[in-house]
Amino acid sequence: MFFDLDTKRASFCYNGGEIALIPAQMKAAGEGAYEKTLPDGLTAILEIESFGENAIYQLLRFEHRGDKNSGTVSRVRSIDLSLSAEGEVVWESLRGDSCGKESFNPLKKTFAPGDSLCVEPKFGRPSDTDGFPYFDLALSGSAATFGVGWSGQWVLEIERTQTELHVCAGLAVAETFLYPGEGFRAASVLCVSAEDIPASRRAFRRLTFERFSPHTENGAYVTLPIAEQNFDRYFGKRDDWATVAGQKKCADIAVGCHMDALWLDAGWFKDGFPGGVGNYSFAPGFPDGLAEVGAYAHEKGLRFIQWFEPERVNCYSETYRDHADEVIVLESKGSVNCLLNIGEERVRRRLTELLCDMIKTHHLDIYRQDFNICPSGYWDTEDKKHPGRRGMTEIRFVEGHYKMWDEIRARFPSLLIDNCASGGRRLDVETTRRAVPLWRSDTGCSPATQEHPNDLWSQNHILALTRYLPYHSNGSWSARPYDIRSTFSGGIEINLDVLSPDFDPEPVVPVVEECRRLRKYWHGDFYPLTVPDNSDRIWAAWQLSLGDSGVILGMRRSKCPFGTFTPSLSAIDPGAQYEVTVTDETMHAETKTTSGKELLHMKLSCPAPRTSVVVEYRKI
């Protein structure tokens, strides 16, 4: 249905006329590659990798092989499908991250003949506010889940006629000629089909685990950190935190709490955050840099995580002073932020060398890259200097981003990259195949309150994002089981008042040990037992299944009047026997043996609002 080589798969406009890319009508150019060359030498290359009969990865590239400038390439669509549409047609996706109650909220639209839809993110980051580059379609008795791979401004267009559904996705901004010998990559698309949307999501997530996510140096799945992190609690409030001695003390506390990583966020550099962004010299508390901190973390058995934001440059920073010719400055005055133009090869190479030197010197295990800037205005500003080349600044910037991460990963095969952009605003197929988002939303930057219920929001994020993404995590300001369980998704950053003389690690240990025990299940299949919803009067629950074992987590929200909840479970053998362990909010655990039939109909019980329960089961 989705993968016929005899039908149109992608398209672009050339000098205003549409060019359809149909693999069967293109020249074979190696395994899975198809070319279409126009009379002036402009060549479109469609690279297709298949995974069985129901999954493909498709990338559109261009090369200009002529001896004069090409014509104008525009409306670049890396996937352009016309699908038979009979009966109900449903599209589902999520909102992007906006650091609030609407972040990653589900979206759904049923298409009648004549209906259309256009989706774009805001301001150049691929999952910012109005757009999320993963979506589902159900039509004509089957379904598919799609992921767009473009870490800039993409667009999705869907239109239904009486008999067909037209689905296009690609670059939102591209209207450019190419010089002789020049080329560029466009967006990629990952698509997995199945009998219905839940099944296509599970298959999509499983394929992403296997082929489109970082792995360890020996090819195993990566393990997300359970990290001690205090930036938002202490930065600008405790001078002893941003020091070598302060970070060593944080490392000692992390060990005492049984955590496995020390996370040093912004605040290690001269002039602090955000005014010092673009400085690579150190704050007074780190006179000789961070090598001593990283070495101490390793001595204590911890992974060391360090924050960077290399693409944003403050106009008063060292980078601006020493490399002003490398940054893009907005036409409008008043902003202190500039964009480092990593689309320029010399800029990217200099930055890559700088970062690799710091990764090595500081003994980093996880390189954390943030991106707190909306880039589209900067790209537009630079494009205006190059008439006829609209979109090329963005294209080169995104290509440079991929090249830099690929070079860093090649030099440090055991390094994990954390992908952050004011939270989760840079999530797409190409970033998540190279990095993991350890901070899925900046909602985690403050403690849970009635006005800011980030425990509830984090539950929603888990229920929504895990439809598509194998890896993501966020932070908790409390070690209460309810708060940790609401946030934990294979990894977690725990922000506690560890420098207080009254801090006691003992109550933290059982809940951290539970996280360590449950971490493996996030490599299994995910089954949402409730839907993401901002009501505080309901339960939130999910199940993870890994082979013959699994775990169920249930949270009774703050105003929920119901003390029990009966979920509809999956992946349970009704004829088998199971060992089942139930752990309540007090961390009291009871284990019993029960039949699969009884397990399928078990009730989750929480005696009071804002309490939780964990059920671990293992087939005997």
Specify the residue for token string 């089981």.
481
pLDDT at residue 494 greater than cutoff 80:
yes
CATH code of the domain containing 597 = 2.60.40.1180
On whether residue 457 sits in a domain, the answer given is no
On whether residue 399 sits in a domain, the answer given is no
The domain in which residue 119 lies consists of 10-211
pTM over 0.85: yes
Confidence of residue 1 (pLDDT cuts 50, 70, 90): low
Amino acid, res. 161: T
Per-residue confidence (pLDDT) for residue 332, from 0 to 100: 76
**How large a percentage of the chain has pLDDT more than 90?**
97
Amino acid, res. 286: F
Lowest-confidence pick of 2-11, 85-94, 99-108, 410-419: 2-11
Contact of 246 with 240, CB cutoff 8 Å: yes
Distance CA 353, CA 365 (A): 17
DSSP secondary structure string for all residues of 62-126: EEE-SSS----EEEEEEEEEEEE--S-EEEEEE--B-SSTTTT-EEEEEEPTT-EEEE--STT-T
On whether residue 121 sits in a domain, the answer given is yes
CATH code of the domain containing 52 = 2.70.98.60
**Nearest of 259, 277, 257, 258 to residue 267 by alpha carbon:** 277
Distance CA 111, CA 22 (A): 26
Confidence of residue 5 (pLDDT cuts 50, 70, 90): confident
Q: For residue range 411-453, what is the model confidence (pLDDT) as tens digits?
A: 999 999 999 999 999 999 999 999 999 999 999 999 999 999 9
pLDDT at residue 542 greater than cutoff 90:
yes
pLDDT at residue 3 greater than cutoff 90:
no
SS3 category, 486: helix
Mean pLDDT of all residues in 350-354: 98
Confidence of residue 2 (pLDDT cuts 50, 70, 90): low
Confidence of residue 174 (pLDDT cuts 50, 70, 90): very high
On whether residue 594 sits in a domain, the answer given is yes
Check residue 163 and report its DSSP letter. Answer: S
Per-residue confidence (pLDDT) for residue 6, from 0 to 100: 84
Contact of 87 with 139, CB cutoff 8 Å: yes
On whether residue 165 sits in a domain, the answer given is yes
- Neighbour tally for 470: CB within 10 Å: 23
Last residue of a domain, one of 186, 211, 236: 211
Mean pLDDT of all residues in 164-171: 97
Strand 303-308 and strand 366-369: the pairing is parallel
On whether residue 116 sits in a domain, the answer given is yes
Confidence of residue 223 (pLDDT cuts 50, 70, 90): very high
Q: For residue range 13-49, what is the model confidence (pLDDT) as tens digits?
A: 999 999 999 999 999 999 999 999 999 999 999 999 9
Last residue of a domain, one of 146, 176, 211: 211
Q: For residue range 367-405, what is the model confidence (pLDDT) as tens digits?
A: 999 999 999 999 999 999 999 999 999 999 999 999 999
Count of structural domains, the chain:
2
Last residue of a domain, one of 188, 211, 234: 211
Mean pLDDT of all residues in 67-78: 98
On whether residue 60 sits in a domain, the answer given is yes
Mean pLDDT of all residues in 216-221: 95
On whether residue 356 sits in a domain, the answer given is no
